[in-house]
Structure 1
Amino acid sequence: MLTKADDYPIHQTPEPIAFSGSDRNFYDRYFFNGYSLGGDMFFAAALGVYPHLNIMDAAFAVRIGGRQYNIRGSRHLNMERMDTHVGPIRIEVVEPLKKLRIIVEDNEHGIAADVLFEGRSAPVEEPRSIRRNGPRVIMDITRMTQLGHYSGWIHAGGQEVRLESANVQGVRDRSWGVRHVGARDPQAMVPAQDHQFHWLWVPAQLEDRGFLFYVNEDRHGEAWNYGMVIVHDDGRVEHLPGAEIDVTYQPGTRWPTHGTITTPGGIRVDIEPEARFFMTGIGYLDPEWAHGINKGPLVIGYDEIDPKEVSYVPPHIYTQAFARLKMTLPDGSVQRGFGTFEALSMGPHARLGFKGMHGGQ
């Protein structure tokens, strides 16, 4: 079956672009977040394509002051991967690798947006990441991450927020490959293995540079996927192997309250997270809106989150937080800025003393 994508030079197999190899868990995904520099507004958007499930889903969520507003949608893909819209939500590539647009058209739920992302620097390609559970591949992905600024407007909860590029920044990424999507596999692995995932992600922008830190650790606390990259405004890109992070958590939870990144070369980054954004708002861990679930030809859902009413229980364990950062360089000079502190930890982690699926320290 030929589709619109076949007129673009993007084939990855000898077949038409509608067919993405043979793994039913193949996915292709957009992610965005942005925040005001005072931290009173934070939004995120996502759109995922699951070719072998024939599903596309999307979501947009914004925290304005003390409340988070979430709209999510899912539809049948109909094997047409170039129509990047789900109901009122759509993503437009204005200028590849530089400018993208998020649109949420007016709808009955009162949440709408027209937001333009413009990259501050070129995207950073992370090394391909592969993870197995016994003989089974559970993750095989490539991701590119780009820091930038936003302009436009968002309407939610009866309020309208204007975004100016000088005062609203954030990040976007594109990832694709294999990770679990859709319904659970009815045949579990043998012998049974504990589900464990420990992830920290810190993209941030400072005065004349941006940086990205990320790490996955196993149940013993050993890193199996990690990196730190500094992207200078003059175009230089530094990869800093050996960077480590020390995190303080809110007692009884796995929500970070402070982080310190250090590198062998003497760089130190102090991270102070503030108001949280709950990733369930864009489908992550949400039991009703899990990525790739078949909800029908087109279904739209809406809800709101009051952080004061949220406890550390699923699906609210996965968060991002607006963060203030200070980078101290080896010569003692300091760069300050803003970023995101993302954290998801499930299962045991011996070094941190985490036990069970969600237990804190």
Structure 2
Amino acid sequence: MLTKFDEWTCHQTVQTFDQVGSTDRAWTEKLWCNVHDATGGLVLATGFGVYPNRNVQDGFACVNVENRRQHNLRVSRVLRPRIDEVAVGPLRYEVLEPFRRIRLTCGDNPRGIRFDLEFRGRFAPGEEEPQVGTAFGRTFVHTCRYAQVGRAQGWIEVEGRRVEVTEDRFYAQRDHSWGQRMGVGLPEQGVQFTDIAAFRGMLILWTTLQLPDRAFTLYYIEGADGRVQRLTGHVCPRLESGAPTVPITEVQHEFRYHPRSARMSGGRLVLAAADGGRWELELQERTTMYLRGGGYTGYRGYYHGLWMGPEWQDGETFEVSDERVANEVHGLDDTVVEVRCGGEVGYGIVENLILPPFPRYGFAESEGR
């Protein structure tokens, strides 16, 4: 099937753009963006998934208000024939200027969330090393990703109130990934292992942080034995500088967690880079966005990429000021943090996931997540 993309001279397989080079049903292209103010009083996360081998496109939008309530919207549609637009239900994603301006919109919906935002890139994107994972002779992960940090402009409506979003007050980060990944559709049955639920004894850390003149992107995995299993990240200069990103070569960490929970409350990162740079970053939680509200790691029978019919919407409100609710919906979280480095102050997102056991931080077999 021809789409508008087939007019462009960027084909890499002997197929039209409505097909991908793999027949694996887990092949996915994902987009994610987070927008927040410096206090964490208003946080928005939105994202999209395209699953060519499932004929599904889905998306979500979640808005956290003052770390008290989180309003969630999840949507899904049949992918074809509208394969050449990122739009599902009231949500839409448009590239206005590559790596500089991305438009994200949400129209009327039963959850009362609306927005019209423009992500504005301030720092060069950090391109991760491809991630490849195999088990029992089968590749179960083969993805690549880039992340970019910037600011946001526009407006957000939630709980009947419109908030003007301006670049001087609202920080933003986004990523774009594609390839074969875990957590797509229902967990496989009748196989030796299914997906991330089978993994044990590790800390998974993904973060985007910004200071006034540099940003950091990082994907880091450490086993319970202290062995580094994955380290890919960059120190990213301002876009207008034209300077290259610098690889991060070493990570040291000391994290704090909420009582009786694996929810991160703060900590310290020390990052070393290939050019000899070294940064000691103090992190303090401002708000946590619970991405299970968007479907990450599954929520009440729903998983990303799951066929939900031609058009589908769902959602709810989490009362996250209740510690019991916060612990229940904790999983893959966007923790908004204030960052201090010497005399500089910045902000960003930390995704900190403990898969027990992880003795260093006191998590036994039955704790963490």
The Cα of 1:190 is off from its aligned counterpart by 6.9
The Cα of 1:269 is off from its aligned counterpart by 0.9
Q: Does 1:276 align with 2:288?
A: yes
Question: Measured at CA, do residues 191 and 24 of structure 1 come closer, stay the same or move farther in structure 2, by a change above 3 Å?
Answer: closer
The Cα of 1:356 is off from its aligned counterpart by 2.8
Distance 1:335 1:82 in 2: 43
Matches within 5 A, 1:15-94: 15-20=15-20, 21-65=22-66, 66-78=68-80, 80-94=82-96
The Cα of 1:77 is off from its aligned counterpart by 0.7
Distance 1:306 1:45 in 2: 19
Question: For structure 2, which runs of at least 5 residues remain unmatched after alignment?
Answer: none
Question: 2:348: which partner in 1?
Answer: 339
The Cα of 1:347 is off from its aligned counterpart by 3.7
Question: 1:327: which partner in 2?
Answer: 341
Q: Does 1:317 align with 2:331?
A: yes
The Cα of 1:187 is off from its aligned counterpart by 2.2
What letter matches 1:251 in structure 2? P
Task: Give the conservation status (yes or no) of the 8 Å contact 2:63–2:113.
Answer: no
Question: 1:157: which partner in 2?
Answer: 159
Question: Measured at CA, do residues 77 and 261 of structure 1 come closer, stay the same or move farther in structure 2, by a change above 3 Å?
Answer: same
Q: CA RMSD in A?
A: 2.3
Question: 1:331: which partner in 2?
Answer: none
Task: Give the conservation status (yes or no) of the 8 Å contact 2:128–2:233.
Answer: no
Matches within 5 A, 1:108-257: 108-180=110-182, 181-189=184-192, 194-196=198-200, 198-233=203-238, 234-236=241-243, 237-257=245-265
> Alignment partner of 1:30: what SS?
strand
What letter matches 2:7 in structure 1? D
Q: Percent of aligned pairs with the same residue?
A: 27
Question: 2:4: which partner in 1?
Answer: 4
Distance 1:218 1:188 in 2: 24
Question: Measured at CA, do residues 166 and 318 of structure 1 come closer, stay the same or move farther in structure 2, by a change above 3 Å?
Answer: same
Task: Give the conservation status (yes or no) of the 8 Å contact 2:338–2:346.
Answer: yes
TM-score normalised by the chain length of structure 1: 0.91
Task: Give the conservation status (yes or no) of the 8 Å contact 2:123–2:214.
Answer: no
Task: Give the conservation status (yes or no) of the 8 Å contact 1:349–1:355.
Answer: yes
Q: Which of 293, 296, 303 lines up with 2:306 in the alignment?
A: 293
The Cα of 1:235 is off from its aligned counterpart by 3.8
What letter matches 2:322 in structure 1? E
Distance 2:17 2:271 in 1: 42
Aligned residues: 355
Question: Measured at CA, do residues 314 and 27 of structure 1 come closer, stay the same or move farther in structure 2, by a change above 3 Å?
Answer: farther
Distance 1:324 1:198 in 2: 21
Q: Which moved more, 1:6-15 or 1:62-71?
A: 6-15
Task: Give the conservation status (yes or no) of the 8 Å contact 1:243–1:263.
Answer: yes
Distance 1:129 1:190 in 2: 19
